Amino acid sequence: MRDAFIAALAEATASDPSIILMTGDLGFNVLDNFEAAHPNSYLNVGVAEQNMAMLATGCALSGRTVFTYSIANFPTLRCLEMLRNDVTYHDAAVVTVAVGGGYSYGPLGMSHHATEDLAILRAIPGMTVVAPSDTFEVVGATHALIEAGRPAYLRIDKSQSTHEPTAGERFELGKARRLRDGDDLTVISCGGVTGQVLAAVDHLANLGMAIGALSMHTVKPIDSEAIQLAATTTGGIVTVEEHVSTGGLGSAVLEVLGDAEIWPRRFHRCALDPNTWAGVGTQDHLRSLAGLDQHSLAKEFERVLQTTSAP
């Protein structure tokens, strides 16, 4: 996803030199081409993410559109106060990009695991939160966030998958993307783990189960209409996220249902345990331990389908 993001940003910067990319002393192999093509739109601030957020705010208030870029929790949790007090309070056109969503940097341990970020960032007033599921959505989100000109959080991971878009399909912030059709159940997911979801859904389709899949790439503002439609026209909802169950996508979906006073026939969340830190391991290994690999998800979807419907 990160290569697709940089390519999209470079393309946008070619026609809009007001765009600036700031990085916290990383990503040289990925960012070299951007720097070479747009040296006046690139700034390495060093290991100083808090300063980067404040500098980005100042540049944005001077008419620039700024993307800050770093690993996982470094551009978010490390400088949360600056995102709250500087970026969002002043409605600055700053997009905070975290590469390494979920367990992307699993071997580096919990300091590099972005597993609470969606909950924390979506709680901040004025902050748009986007977690694309593939390269198509990363490119679309990059251009859409530039056009929006508002504070935003873009969470990307190492996935290189592209879930083939339909003919003429356009990315739209705040609108879920339908990846599979099916009325037995609807799975709503965000981020790179969507690839595991689709593999599970396709496996169950071969066994005669018709499960729909929505990519809820925009966690805030969330697509309330799509959620309510899934709740009222299909056999239930399962949410999947590479994030703790507290405050993330599943919580956002439940908030929509609660506010609308709608309850689906079935509801279940597949997410990380909010009371346990993960160990060290590859992303695939940690996903498997958390039940977020395609085989575990397929078993969970089938189990949910076999449960008695709620009244």
Question: Which fold does the domain 177-306 belong to in CATH?
Answer: Rossmann fold (3.40.50)
Low-confidence stretches of the chain (pLDDT < 70) are 308-311
Asked if residues 221 and 251 have their Cβ atoms less than 8 Å apart, the reply is: no
Whole-number pLDDT of residue 307: 87
Average pLDDT, the chain: 95
CA–CA separation, 70 vs 259, rounded Å?
35
Domain spans in the chain, listed from the N-terminal domain onward: 2-156, 177-306
Instruction: List the strands of the sheet with 211-215, edge to edge.
Output: 177-183, 211-215, 185-189, 237-244, 267-272
Class of domain 2-156: alpha beta
Whole-number pLDDT of residue 176: 98
Whole-number pLDDT of residue 311: 43
- At 54, which helix (H) or strand (E)? helix 49-61
Q: Which pTM value belongs to this model?
A: 0.96
CA–CA separation, 273 vs 56, rounded Å?
34
